[in-house]
Amino acid sequence: MNKLYVIFGGTFDPIHYGHLYSAMLLARQLKINQITLLPNNIPPHRSQPIANAQQRIKMLQIAITKNQLFRIDKREFEYPNLSWTIKVLKTLRTERGTKQPIAFIIGQDSLLTIQTWHHWDDILSFCHLLVCPRPNYSLQMNTSKMQGWLDNHCTSNINQLYHKPNGFIWLCNIPPLFNISSMQIRQRYNLGLPCRGLLPDKVINYIEQVGLYSD
């Protein structure tokens, strides 16, 4: 069986247990032994990060200390332009070759709006998509065309993810443990509300030490 190269992209502003636990459960389900965290530099679909590049990388490093499942790829910070997913996937495909199975983790909320992504209809030409559930989000796409696209590419056969380099969508059968987002965590900090239990304590200590997310 080929090794599945798995990428988890995001702003991670900050990283929290919703990110970490979903990825860990996914890894257990699909027998993945490594996940590459790929922080965005300038995300095109949302407001710009509050924490700078160095701070977000530091929070990632703190969060995954002693966890051999994760590694960090900092390549996005080398680009001064928008962090288009398709551009990164093309680069990875060139690096990894045409036969390497590559998978990209996204949330269920991102799947429902994937048609707004830059060259979205080319994404499955370069990777598989692993979709993690989010609380209160439907599995029904917004249009019949998009639902047909999803149905045509969905698989429940793990072997297809390992034996084909790209082209499939896996809807992860894991519980959405944390109904929390990075934006909500930033809002809680801004309001002076506690965040213990939502992200690793050492990340919380770092946030408080440098004074992130509070006016």
Residue 100 lies in a domain: yes
pLDDT of residue 137: 77
- Asked whether residue 200 is assigned to any structural domain, the reply reads no
Spatial CA neighbour of 14 closest among 82, 76, 63: 63
Q: Residue 62: inside a domain, yes or no?
A: yes
172 exposure class (CB count in 10 Å sphere: 0-12, 13-18, 19+): middle
With residue 24 as reference, give the H or E element that holds it: helix 17-30
pLDDT of residue 208: 95
| Residue 192, domain member (yes or no) | no
Predicted confidence band at 214 (pLDDT cuts at 50, 70, 90)? confident
* Neighbouring C-beta atoms of residue 199, cutoff 10 Å: 24
Domain of residue 107, residue span: 5-179
Decide if 186 contacts 13 (C-beta within 8 A): yes
Phi, psi of 186 (to 5 degrees): -60, -40
Residue 170 lies in a domain: yes
pLDDT tens column, 1-53:
579 999 999 999 999 999 999 999 999 999 999 999 999 887 776 678 999 99
The overall average pLDDT reported for the chain is: 92
Q: Model-level pTM?
A: 0.93
CA 21 – CA 202 distance, rounded (Å): 16
Residue 24 belongs to a domain with what CATH number? 3.40.50.620
| Percent of residues, the chain, with pLDDT higher than 90 | 80
